[in-house]
Structure 1
Amino acid sequence: MITLPSEDPHGGTLRDLVPDLTPMLDILFILLVFFLLTAGTVFRAIDLKLPSSVEEELTLINEPKHIMLEIREGSYALNGVPIDSFQELRNALRDTLAAKPGYELIVAGDRRIAIEDLLKVLTYLQSQGIAAANILMQKETKP
């Protein structure tokens, strides 16, 4: 604190007007410590490749990451393309899986197909090394 001489010519009124600088010095010390601690931080940057247009980004997001195999009554369909025989299905499935590695396979069957048709397809998938496939089912509703 700032002290004034004892023989104050103003009668002590100047002493009452002197501010106490202790809180300001405390705040300055805290700020100094804060700046010293944060000055040594290392900033890291990540290189980003931004899309050139919104349409380019949307096509990447909306691209399906699965292959849909439908087992129909008397035929098959792979990604909506009808296939008549099991031999054609095997060839088309082999080509599609080779063209799209890492895609998820979804098997959807009509409720009227024989269980043998489903088992034939699942056995072929297992022989090709596809250990897991999603089987699409519809929940039965009671009338």
Structure 2
Amino acid sequence: MIRLQTEDLHSGTLRDLAPDLTPMLDILFILLVFFLLTAGAVFQSLDLKLPSSVADEVNLVNAPRHIMLEIRRGSYAVDGEAIRGFEGLKFALRTALTDKPDHELIVAGDKRIAIEELLKVLTYLQSQGIEAANILMQKEIQE
């Protein structure tokens, strides 16, 4: 606490007995800064449309949003339907992409197929304007 020194120790005035207000002013200044910083905070909100019934939304969530192209040994499959030959694959892919234009394409290949088969399919996809496709790979387990 800061005290005023007078020449005479016995001549104490009312001013010498007043409390030191410096700590209180420090606390008030800190509170003022705190309130100024928190008052200027901008909160963002997001409008949500809640479903009218749970059953309708569950069906939409479970619906697949992709086309699965499997490169099997000696054949192909589009969404689980087996296809023989590369020409049949071209027709099935054109049909699937026309029916589901907003779905993404996932390519899954058997690890025993030749890399040429995968490259042939990827080249065909690129020629059809499909620039991005997800390729499924299985992580090898180190023994």
Write the distance in 2 (CA, Å) between the matches of 1:104 and 1:139: 22
5+ residue gaps in structure 2? 1-46
Once residues 61 and 47 of structure 1 are traced to their aligned partners in structure 2, the CA distance between those partners, rounded to angstroms, is: 17
Of 131-140 and 55-64, deviating more is 55-64
User: Match of 1:106?
Assistant: 106
Q: Give 2:126's aligned amino acid.
A: Q
Report % sequence identity.
63
CA RMSD of aligned residues (A): 1.7
Instruction: State the Cα distance separating 1:54 from its structure 2 match.
Output: 2.4
TM norm structure 2: 0.63
Tell me how far 1:50 sits from its aligned partner.
4.0
Whether 1:83 and 2:83 are equivalent positions in the alignment is yes
- Inter-CA distance 47–79: structure 2 relative to 1 (3 Å threshold): closer
In structure 1, runs of 5+ residues without a counterpart are 1-45
Q: Equivalences for 1:89-128 in 2 at 5 Å?
A: 89-128=89-128
1:26 maps to which residue? none
Measured after TM superposition, the shift of residue 84 of structure 1 is 0.9
Q: CA deviation at 1:47?
A: 9.9
**Where does residue 9 of structure 2 map in the other structure?**
none
The TM-score normalised by the length of structure 1 is: 0.63
Aligned pair count reads 97
